[in-house]
Structure 1
Amino acid sequence: MPKLPECDNCLLYSHNPHLVCVVHPDGVEGESCLDFRLDPNAKAEELWQPEGASYYNSELILQPQQRWTQQQKLELLDWHPMFTGRCPQCSAEFDRDWSARVHWDCQNPECGWMDDTV
């Protein structure tokens, strides 16, 4: 029987394994039903998602495992040159061309600090 996903929330749905609904007992032919009427008493579908996942266009997407804890991410804001604009070791100022920068190694020859977080 061709039943649509919307049938479960339709006022005309029969809740019978042998009939789809009162108007279309054998189901509908096509992508939609012109007789669909939202049932105000229908249970809302709960989209459960595990931690680290989210829905995009009704599809559950698992996020990759993060290598940093929340605390480590917050600490990174305090010392990394991407956020401070200064070398964490010698306080030398970095150029402000942030969009093209990939590596955050200190250009001060006396310092030698290298970003090993990437």
Structure 2
Amino acid sequence: MPKIPQCDRCLLYSHNPYLVCAVHPDGVDGDKCLDFREDLNAEPVELWQPEGASYYNGELILQPRQRWTAEQQLELLDWHPMFTGKCPQCGAEYERDYTARVHWDCPDCGWMDDSV
């Protein structure tokens, strides 16, 4: 039966496996119901989420696994050109537009950024 997510919170919902509600016994066509009446006494549906995931606009988003520890991430602030504006190997300065960069390879000494 085509039941929409709102059905569980509707006053007209039958809580019956064979009948969706009194107004739309077979469910509604589409993703909205014009006859929806919110049941203020209905228990909210708890959104389960695994560790490392969260909901954004009702969609479960898995967070990417971090390959760096928190300590390593803090160390990046001290040496990475994105934060210092300088090559960690030779000290060459990047142009001031360096915040828009994607690649941080140094043209002077050949240092290559493998942190991405």
TM range (shorter): 0.7 to 0.9
Question: 2:105 corresponds to which letter in structure 1?
Answer: W
Whichever structure has more strand as a proportion of its residues is: 2
Q: Is residue 105 of structure 2 the alignment partner of residue 104 of structure 1?
A: yes
With 75-84 and 98-107 compared, the bigger mean Cα shift is at: 98-107
Counterpart CA distance in 2 for 1:23 and 1:117 is: 58
Q: Once the two structures are superposed, what CA deviation does each residue of 1:64-115 show, in whole Å capped at 9, x if it has no partner?
A: 32211222112101221110112334544222232246133272x6xx7554
Q: TM-score, normalized by length of structure 1?
A: 0.71
Counterpart CA distance in 2 for 1:34 and 1:58 is: 21
Map 1:34-49 to 2 at 5 A: 34-49=34-49
RMSD: 2.7
Count how many residue pairs are aligned between Structure 1 and Structure 2: 114
Higher alpha-carbon Rg? 1
Question: 1:48 corresponds to which letter in structure 2?
Answer: W
Counterpart CA distance in 1 for 2:111 and 2:38 is: 63
Counterpart CA distance in 1 for 2:17 and 2:102 is: 61
Change (3 A) 1:88 1:35: same
Match of 2:9 in 1: 9
> Shift of residue 8 of structure 1?
0.9
Q: Once the two structures are superposed, what CA deviation does each residue of 1:41-62 show, in whole Å capped at 9, x if it has no partner?
A: 1122222222322334533232
Change (3 A) 1:8 1:115: closer
CA contact (8 A) 2:87 2:93 kept: yes
CA contact (8 A) 2:81 2:104 kept: no
**Aligned-residue identity in percent:** 67
Map 1:46-65 to 2 at 5 A: 46-65=46-65
Structure 1, gaps ≥5 residues long: none
